[in-house]
C-alpha cells in the first residue's frame, strides 16, 4: 500500500479544477511535432474553449528503426511557442533524464510518461530521479502490457520522488493476433486503477486504443461513462500527411464534432431528485441481488448432494453429455430472454467451474477430516 493513496496531493491542481466541470478535460495536438508551422497551425485551429492542454511528441518511441523518430530537442520551442500563442499549457512525452532536463529548460508545463517507459521500472526510476525536487505535473500512461502493478509502480516511483501532481492515461494494451483495436482497451484495468486511486485524474487516449480515425467517439464516450475525467486525442491539420500515426489522427474540425457529440456524464449525481430516484432503483437491485445469492446458495447445496451421489456410485464429476446439453439449451433460452450470448457463456462457465470445485471437495472428503486442498 502506498501511503496517502486517496489523499489530495495526488490531484494536479490544474487537472482537478476540471474534475467537476461540465465537460471533459481535453488534451489535443499532433502525435509528433513535425515543424514549427505545423505545431502552430494545429494550435491555432483548436477550439481553446474546449481544449485544455496542447500535446506533441518530440522524441517518438517507434517500434521499428528507420521510422520517423521525432524532431528532437529543437522542436521543444515550437511546442512551447504554439502553446503561448493560443494560451494553452503544453505537454510532451519524456523517456529519459535527458528528455526531462530539456523539457524543464524549455518550459514545458506538464510531462507524460509513455507506455513503453511505464513498462520498464528502470526508465521510470530514471525519470523520477530527474524530477526529484521539481514541482511539475506528470501524466503516466498505462504500460503496453496489461499489468496493473507496473502502472501502479510507476505512479509510486514518481510519488516517492516527490511528484505531487499526477494523472494517468489509459491508452490500451498490446496484443497478439487480430483485433479491431490497435491496443485492446481491457477496461477492467483502468477500472481497477481508478478503484486503487480514486482521486487520481484519469484520461483516456482513444487514438492509440483505436489506431484509426473512425470509431473514436464510442471509445471516448465509454471512457466518460466509466467516470474518466477527460481525453487525449491526436489532432493534425492534415492527418494523411502525418509523419507518425497518420491513420489515427483527426483534424481539429473532426475533434470539434466528436466533442459536440460526446455526452458528459459524471459519477456523482448532484441533483437531489435524481439522486433519490437512483437510490430507489439501487435498493431494488440490492433486493434482487439478495434473492440471486439465496438461490445460488440453494443451487450449490443441490450440487453438493449430486456430488455425494456421484461419489457413492463411482460416477465422474464431469458428465460431458449433461454439460453439453445444459450449455446448448440455456444458451438459446437465455439469449431469447434478453441476456447476451457472451454473458450466458461466461456465467455458465463460472457456474460449472464452481460446481466442479465443490463436487471435487465432496469426493475428497475422507471421514470427518476434510482435505480442502483441491484447486480447480
Ligand atoms: C503518443 O502519445 O504519441 C504515444 C507514443 O503514446 P503511447 O506511449 O501511448 O504509445
Ligand atoms: Mn501517436
Q: What residue numbers bound the domain in which 145 lies?
A: 13-261
Same domain, 251 and 350: no
Per-residue pLDDT of the chain in tens (376 residues, 90 and over written 9)? 333 344 445 555 556 555 557 899 999 999 999 999 999 999 999 999 999 999 999 999 888 888 899 999 999 999 999 999 999 999 999 999 999 999 999 999 999 999 999 999 999 999 999 999 999 999 999 999 999 999 999 999 999 999 999 999 999 999 998 999 999 999 999 999 999 999 899 999 999 999 999 999 999 999 999 999 999 999 999 999 999 999 999 999 999 999 999 999 877 766 788 888 888 999 999 999 999 999 999 999 999 999 999 999 999 999 999 999 999 999 999 999 999 999 999 999 999 999 999 999 999 986 544 444 444 4
Of 196, 226, 261, the position where a domain reaches its end is 261
Contacts of 237 (CB under 8 A, 6+ apart): 38, 41, 42, 45, 251, 252
What CATH number has the domain bearing residue 343? 1.20.59.10
Neighbours of 46 (CB within 10 A): 20
Ligand 1: residue of 53, 68, 208, 245 to mutate (most ligand atoms within 8 A of CB) is 208
171 lines ligand 1 (CB under 6 A): yes
> Which pLDDT does position 20 carry in this prediction?
53
- 375 occurs within a structural domain: no
- Number of domains within the chain: 2
DSSP state of 18: T
Distance separating alpha carbons of residues 321 and 317, to the nearest angstrom? 12
Distance separating alpha carbons of residues 282 and 223, to the nearest angstrom? 22
8 Å CB contact between 147 and 120: no
Same domain, 288 and 332: yes
Which of 325, 329, 331 has its CA nearest to residue 346? Answer: 331
Report pTM: 0.82
> Which pLDDT does position 316 carry in this prediction?
94
Q: At what angle do helices 320-336 and 341-364 cross, to 10 degrees?
A: 150
For residue 208, which atom of ligand 1 is closest to its CA? 9
Neighbours of 65 (CB within 10 A): 6
Same domain, 177 and 326: no
83 lines ligand 1 (CB under 6 A): no
> Which pLDDT does position 275 carry in this prediction?
82
Neighbours of 85 (CB within 10 A): 13
Ligand 2 centroid–CA 243 distance in Å is 10
- 246 occurs within a structural domain: yes
Of 261, 280, 308, the position where a domain reaches its end is 261
Ligand 2 centroid–CA 171 distance in Å is 10
Same domain, 28 and 101: yes
Instruction: Please give the helix or strand (H or E) that residue 40 lies within, else none.
Output: helix 36-45
> Which pLDDT does position 66 carry in this prediction?
87
- 266 occurs within a structural domain: no
Of 261, 295, 321, the position where a domain reaches its end is 261
Distance separating alpha carbons of residues 349 and 357, to the nearest angstrom? 12
Amino acid at each position: 500500500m502506498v501511503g496517502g493513496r486517496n489523499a489530495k496531493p495526488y490531484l494536479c491542481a490544474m487537472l482537478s479544477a476540471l474534475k467537476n466541470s461540465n465537460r471533459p478535460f481535453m488534451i489535443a495536438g499532433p502525435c509528433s511535432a513535425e515543424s514549427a508551422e505545423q505545431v502552430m497551425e494545429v494550435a491555432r485551429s483548436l477550439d481553446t474553449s474546449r481544449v485544455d492542454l496542447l500535446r506533441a511528441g518530440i522524441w517518438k518511441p517507434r517500434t521499428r528503426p528507420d521510422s520517423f523518430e521525432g524532431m528532437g530537442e529543437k522542436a521543444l520551442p515550437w511546442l512551447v511557442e504554439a502553446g503561448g500563442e493560443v494560451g494553452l499549457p503544453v505537454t510532451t512525452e519524456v523517456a529519459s533524464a535527458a528528455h526531462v532536463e530539456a523539457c524543464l529548460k524549455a518550459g514545458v508545463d506538464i510531462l507524460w510518461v509513455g507506455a513503453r517507459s511505464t513498462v520498464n521500472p528502470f526508465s521510470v526510476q530514471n525519470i523520477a530521479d530527474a524530477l526529484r525536487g521539481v514541482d511539475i505535473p506528470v501524466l503516466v500512461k498505462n504500460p503496453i502490457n496489461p499489468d496493473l502493478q507496473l502502472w501502479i509502480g510507476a505512479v509510486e516511483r514518481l510519488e516517492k520522488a516527490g511528484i505531487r501532481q499526477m494523472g494517468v492515461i489509459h491508452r490500451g494494451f498490446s496484443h497478439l493476433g487480430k483485433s479491431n483495436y490497435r491496443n485492446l482497451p481491457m477496461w477492467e484495468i483502468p477500472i481497477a486503477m481508478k478503484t486503487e486511486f480514486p482521486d487520481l485524474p484519469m484520461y483516456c487516449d482513444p487514438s492509440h486504443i483505436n489506431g484509426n480515425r473512425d470509431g473514436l467517439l464510442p471509445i471516448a464516450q465509454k471512457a466518460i461513462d466509466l467516470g474518466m475525467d477527460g481525453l487525449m486525442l491526436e489532432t493534425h491539420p492534415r492527418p494523411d500527411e502525418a509523419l507518425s500515426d497518420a491513420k489515427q489522427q483527426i483534424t481539429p474540425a473532426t475533434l470539434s464534432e466528436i466533442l459536440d457529440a460526446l455526452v458528459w456524464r459524471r459519477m456523482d449525481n448532484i441533483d437531489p431528485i435524481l439522486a433519490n430516484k437512483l437510490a430507489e432503483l439501487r435498493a431494488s437491485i440490492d433486493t434482487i441481488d439478495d434473492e440471486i445469492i439465496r438461490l445460488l446458495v440453494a443451487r450449490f447445496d443441490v450440487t453438493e448432494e449430486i456430488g455425494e451421489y456421484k461419489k457413492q456410485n463411482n460416477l465422474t464429476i464431469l458428465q460431458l453429455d449433461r454439460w453439453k446439453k445444459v450449455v446448448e439449451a440455456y444458451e438459446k433460452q437465455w439469449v431469447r430472454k434478453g441476456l447476451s450470448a457472451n454473458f450466458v457463456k461466461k456465467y455458465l462457465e463460472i457456474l460449472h467451474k464452481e460446481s466442479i470445485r465443490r463436487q471435487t471437495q465432496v469426493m475428497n472428503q475422507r471421514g470427518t477430516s476434510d482435505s480442502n486442498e483441491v484447486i480447480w
